[in-house]
Amino acid sequence: MEMGAAFLARSLREKWGFSTERSRRVGILGNPYDRPWTRETSAALVRIQYRAMRLPLWLKIAWTVWLIVWAPLYWRQYGLQNFLFFCDLGNILIGIALWLESPLLFSWVASGLLLFQTLYTVDFVGALLTSHHLIGGTEYMFDPDLRLPIRLLSLFHVITPPLLLWAIWRLGYDPRGWKLQTLMAWIVVSLNYFWRPEQDVNWARGLFFHEQHVIPGWAYLLAYLTVVPLFVYFPTHLFLSWLSRRWQARRQNPTHLNAVHG
């Protein structure tokens, strides 16, 4: 049992950066890692882990509950292939990233979704305010034939961009994320091209859910898998890297930055 306590304590120190001194500061007297494995020791370690969370527990639970509601309703409405949309895959990855508090997973999702979800939000809000779609892609949100609960669930597109930016602000940015997004795109879009092509998931056959016939299909697919990583994922990576450096500098020297901008 004592070996189990030591192993768990070491894991907590590696994951959360806890030392004995920090454990005292969060309200545990003495060194809980050196105690025999008891129910009190377990409770103490749980309290340490809870207080060390960088993302709130309520958000993790809320997103998990929302996923449990969203997934079966979307499956029933759109079918299994719908979960190959990058936005839907992103929902699942965000759920995992919240519990793991993983900068890599958040950076991965942000590299692929931040631009497109922002454009989605602009088009949706613009249509609400002006009754005209500035970009396109959100017309279904105003379709009375589509059940209101499904349309309300689709509002996750609007929530995703600020959530991703906030998570990266809290946890930091991992520059490997855009490479994982590129790898996922190569796999998923290729699958979209051959599996149920009439659905045109992720625009694998043509833009805005219309199959293109201007160039051969294989040429369009190759161009897609080259252009999107180079002109969407990589520039988003550069933007997030720059933004993360700004945030880090502000944390390290807020007085200097305020003086410069003041």
For CA atoms 179, 165, 238, 230, the dihedral sign is positive
Q: Which two tokens stand for residue 165?
A: 């930016």
182 and 256 part of one domain: yes
Place of tokens 């527990």: 57
63 and 26 part of one domain: no
Does residue 177 contact residue 189 with C-beta atoms inside 8 Å? no
Residue 53 has what pLDDT? Answer: 80
Task: Please state, in angstroms and as integers, the Cα–Cα distance from residue 11 to each residue in 6, 18, 124, following that order.
Answer: 9, 10, 45
88 and 217 part of one domain: yes
43 and 62 part of one domain: no
Residue 34 has what pLDDT? Answer: 52
212 and 92 part of one domain: yes
Does residue 121 contact residue 161 with C-beta atoms inside 8 Å? yes
Q: Which residues contact 57 (CB under 8 A, 6 or more apart)?
A: 50
Total domains in the fold of the chain: 2
For CA atoms 99, 103, 108, 113, the dihedral sign is positive
Residue 35 has what pLDDT? Answer: 52
CA 27 to chain centre: 33
Per-residue pLDDT of the chain (262 residues; tens, 9 = 90+): 444 444 444 554 555 454 444 444 444 445 555 555 566 655 554 455 555 689 999 999 999 999 999 999 999 999 999 999 999 999 999 999 999 999 999 999 999 999 999 999 999 999 999 999 989 889 999 999 999 999 999 999 999 999 999 999 999 999 999 999 999 999 999 999 999 999 999 999 999 889 999 999 999 999 999 999 999 999 999 999 999 999 999 888 866 545 445 4
23 and 143 part of one domain: no
Question: How far is residue 244's CA from residue 196's CA, in Å, rounded to a whole number?
Answer: 39
Question: How far is residue 138's CA from residue 124's CA, in Å, rounded to a whole number?
Answer: 6
